Structure formats: structure tokens, C-alpha cells
Amino acid sequence: MRREFVRWGLGSQRLLVGGLQLCAVMGLLAGFEQPFIGRAASIGLALMMIVAVGVRIKIKDSLMQTSPALLYLVLQVYLSLVAF
């Protein structure tokens, strides 16, 4: 995974991205009790996935390489609109 962050040009931001993802996961779990927290966390993850798709496009990854980020983007948009 460390090599992937370097390939994406984000080597120095790996810990920040991981920390933000952990916070978002905790927010999604907290969303079971407080739906507005879950929705905010889901929107935050969707924004992260928009950036991820943009990075993949910028470095000219194939559609197959970009598809996980697109899938997670669709999932987060769905969660933010429907689940919370």
C-alpha cells in the first residue's frame, strides 16, 4: 500500500488519509445512534472517493484500476442519501 501512495503522488499524506478514513468509519458506526453523524461521515468518505477518482484519472489509471474508487463513491452517495 505504501508503494501505491507513492505512485499516486501522495506518499507524505498516507497517515493523514488513513486517519481520516478511521475517523469516518467511527462516524459511520456512530450513525447507528445519531444519524446526522453517519450522514456527515458518509459525505466525507464520498468526498474522499471523488478525490481518489480524480487522482486515478490524473495518473491515467485504467478503468479497471479506477473501478474500486468508483464503486466506493457510489456506495457512499447511496449511504448518505438513503441509509441515514
Taking only the tens place, the pLDDT of each residue in 7-61 is: 888 888 999 999 999 999 999 999 999 999 999 999 999 999 999 999 999 999 9
Give helix then strand counts, H and E, for the chain. Answer: 4, 0
Annotated domain spans of the chain: 23-83
Residue with cell 500500500: 1
Whether residue 84 is predicted with pLDDT greater than 80 in this model: the reply is: no
| Extended beta strands in 1-84, E state | none
Whether residue 83 is predicted with pLDDT greater than 90 in this model: the reply is: no
CB atoms inside a 10 Å sphere around CB 1: 7
